[in-house]
Amino acid sequence: MSTQLVEVLITQPFPDEAMEQLRAVSPRLRFTVLPRSRAEDIPNEVWQRTEILYTDQVFPAPEQAPNLRWLQVSYAGVENLLDAPIMHKEGVVLTTLSGANAPQMAEYILTMLLALGHRLPLIASLQAKAEWPKDRWERLRPAELRGSTVGLVGYGSVARETARVLQPFNVTILASKRDVMHPQDSGYIPEGLGDPEGDLFDRLYPIEALRSLVKECDFVVLTLPLTDDTRGIINAEVFAAMKPTAYLVDASRGGVVDHAALVTALQERRIAGAALDVFHQEPLPKDDPLWKLPNVIITPHIAGISARYKERAAAMFAENLRRYLAGSSLLNRINLEHGY
């Protein structure tokens, strides 16, 4: 067994308990923790010896890090990082933290499904006006989640955890993913969560059959990555295929939804409403019409925020560290051709 030290550079601080968890993986790991926001603030001698890099987007030039073998990005979405030269250096394995944010994002999605179905935007506006409507039985009749059909577009770690938390509601789950021949989850799965075997959905659709999926749904949930193939994939044709009583929850990436088509669909009541956490432009401009639509819930890209995120990130990083030292395949490897 090798006893050679493996140099690990971390540019984002972990809590003390999380660092203890990482150090406990192996005495072969030597950690350097330098919370920095710019690559030039990392000493050259540190870059020179680094074999494993955990960072958000503090990247060295390829020639600065001759010993780099593995780059672990500290979040799931990487579309803005793929042009960095270090991402294309031969011999460097790239991984994400996909799965570490699944629990809080699934809770967000569940919250929005219930909020939309139970007319919370309208209820909040009535409260602001101190209005007790006489026709409340009709105006505020909920679209119940129980027994409904929910479409999960992009069946990755977040959608799989969403499918799990939806089980008590007796919903019909329609899922969509790029590779329908492999429904199992090959990424990081926190113990007891998600859908590892791919058996919690009722039907699985290829992404090319998106309109066939959405026309059956009472709720459509987006958790797609942003790639050349998915940019603007939720367009006017998709909205036209949805039921006018259906709701959209977008917790994916800004740009997956055609913004103009979304605004039109909501303004003209082609769909019943939407909960939106991501946008084509962030922050969402103050003059954007989405702000004033009564059938919309807007949140400022916070679905993945959790006080426990670094704890979950450390657990996932620790698992990959064990795999690296054992010479096993790392979880959540980035496929540059797919863009995620």
| Active-site choice (119, 164, 178, 253) | 253
Task: Give the chain's length.
Answer: 340
Whether 301 sits among the annotated catalytic residues: the reply is yes
Using DSSP's 3-state secondary structure scheme, residue 68 falls into coil
Q: Which helix (H) or strand (E) holds 177?
A: strand 172-177
CB proximity list for 146: less than 8 A, separation 6 or greater: 169, 170, 171
The catalytic position among 268, 282, 308, 322 is 282
Active site residue 38: no
* CA–CA dist 280, 263 (Å, integer): 12
3-state secondary structure of 90: coil
194 Cβ contact partners less than 8 Å away, ≥ 6 residues apart: 99, 102, 157, 160, 161, 164, 185
Give me 152's structure tokens.
Answer: 């999960």
* 311 flagged as catalytic: no
Contact 150, 113 (CB under 8 A): yes
Complete DSSP assignment for 200-219: S-SEEEEGGGHHHHHTT-SE
Of the candidates 49, 118, 203, 301, the residue annotated as catalytic is: 301
Q: Which residues are part of the catalytic machinery?
A: 253, 282, 301
